[in-house]
Structure 1
């Protein structure tokens, strides 16, 4: 079903891959892209569980918007192993205005499709989603 605000649909593969990440830890991250021609959100890239946060951030285009899911593993002050699922709306300042508007108007509908997101970040440059920001938001 397409989003009323932007006319963008969510491909079933997006929900499927997110469920695999959430339930089975099959991926470290997922990068989603809006295909403007087909008017739907698709999976652009899947990160292996062994890949690092740097692998994730380097897979994002410098001048195009994306939605991302990142599964962040960390150890609490009490020495407990935990993980949090981050939703990151990547919208760099250098992206086209039309692209930023489509991503912004489709974001809430897309997020509702992915049940289990624990932390949301909006980033317009890499420093807004640095590992220090992720660590701070996870605790």
Structure 2
């Protein structure tokens, strides 16, 4: 079903892959892209569980917007193993204005489709989502 504000539909694969990440931990991350011609959000790339945070950030284009989900594992001060699912709205300053507007207007609707997101992050350059930021937001 398309969003009236931006006209973007969400491909079923987006939700399926997210559920696999959340329930089965099949992936470390998922990068989503808006296909303007088809007017829908699609899965662009999935990261294997063995891939690092560096692999994830390297998979985001330097000058195009994307949505991404990252499953962050960490150990609490009580020495408990935990994980949090981050939703990252990647909107680099160098991307096209039209693209930024489409991603911004579609974000909330898309995020609602992914049930289980624990932390949301908006990033316009890589320093806004470096590992220290992720760690500080996880606790």
Q: How does 1:1-40 map to 2 (within 5 A)?
A: 1-40=1-40
Q: Secondary structure at the match of 1:61?
A: coil
User: Shift in Å at residue 103 of structure 1?
Assistant: 0.1
User: Shift in Å at residue 78 of structure 1?
Assistant: 0.3
TM-score by length of 1: 1.00
- List per-residue Cα deviations over 1:21-45 (Å, max 9, x = no partner): 0000000000000000000000000
**2:135 is the alignment partner of 1:114:** no
- List per-residue Cα deviations over 1:9-62 (Å, max 9, x = no partner): 000000000000000000000000000000000000000000000000000000
Distance 2:3 2:52 in 1: 33
RMSD over aligned CA atoms reads 0.2
TM-score by length of 2: 1.00
Distance 2:59 2:66 in 1: 10
Alignment correspondent of 1:71: 71
Alignment correspondent of 2:80: 80
Segments ≥4 residues shifted beyond 2 Å: none
Unaligned runs of 5+ in 1: none
Q: How does 1:39-50 map to 2 (within 5 A)?
A: 39-50=39-50
User: Shift in Å at residue 89 of structure 1?
Assistant: 0.0
User: Shift in Å at residue 75 of structure 1?
Assistant: 0.1
User: Shift in Å at residue 107 of structure 1?
Assistant: 0.1
Q: Secondary structure at the match of 2:116?
A: coil
Unaligned runs of 5+ in 2: none
